Amino acid sequence: MSSSVRPPNGGLASNAASIISGVLKLVGVRFSLAIMEFADARAAFFQVLLLGVIAILASMFALFSISGIIVVLAWEALGWRIFLLLFFAYLLLTISLLWMIRNIITSGKLGLPLTLAELKKDRVVLFDEQGDPDCRV
C-alpha cells in the first residue's frame, strides 16, 4: 500500500469516539440548561401557588360574607330563589375562571420555552432538517 491511501489520523474508532463525546457534551449542556430553567420556573410556580392559595382563602371569606348579606337582605322578597340566583352567579364566575386558566395553559407559558427552542435548533442541525415542517422526530 502506498502512503497516500492511508486513512486519516485516528481512523474510524477515533472519529466515532469524538462524535460520541461531542454528542454527550451537547446532551450535558442541554440538560444543565433545562435544569436551570426548571429551577427558575419551579420558584415562580411555588410563589404563584402560595399567592393563589392565599387569594382563594381571602376570596372565600369575602364571598361568604357578601352571600350572607345578600341572603338576609333579599329573603323577604325572593325567599329560597336567592340561593338559586347566587348559585348561578358563582357558576358563571367559576366557568370564566376555568376558561382563563385554560387560556394560560394553552398559551405555553408553563413550559420550558428556552430549552425547547434549543432542542429544536439541535434537531435541525443534527438531522439536517432545513426547517422542514413535514419532518417527524
Alpha carbon distance 67, 69 (integer Å)? 5
Q: What is the pTM (predicted TM-score) of this model?
A: 0.44
What average pLDDT does the chain have?
80
**Mean per-residue pLDDT for 28-53?**
82
Q: How far apart are the first and last CA of the chain?
A: 44
Residue recorded with cell 422542514: 132
* pLDDT: which is higher, 129 or 125: 125
Number of helical H runs and strand E runs in the chain: 3, 0
Q: Is the pLDDT of residue 137 over 50?
A: no
Compute CA distances 88 → 30, 67, 111, whole Å: 49, 13, 34
Residue recorded with cell 402560595: 50
Domain chopping of the chain, boundaries: 11-127
* pLDDT: which is higher, 47 or 76: 76
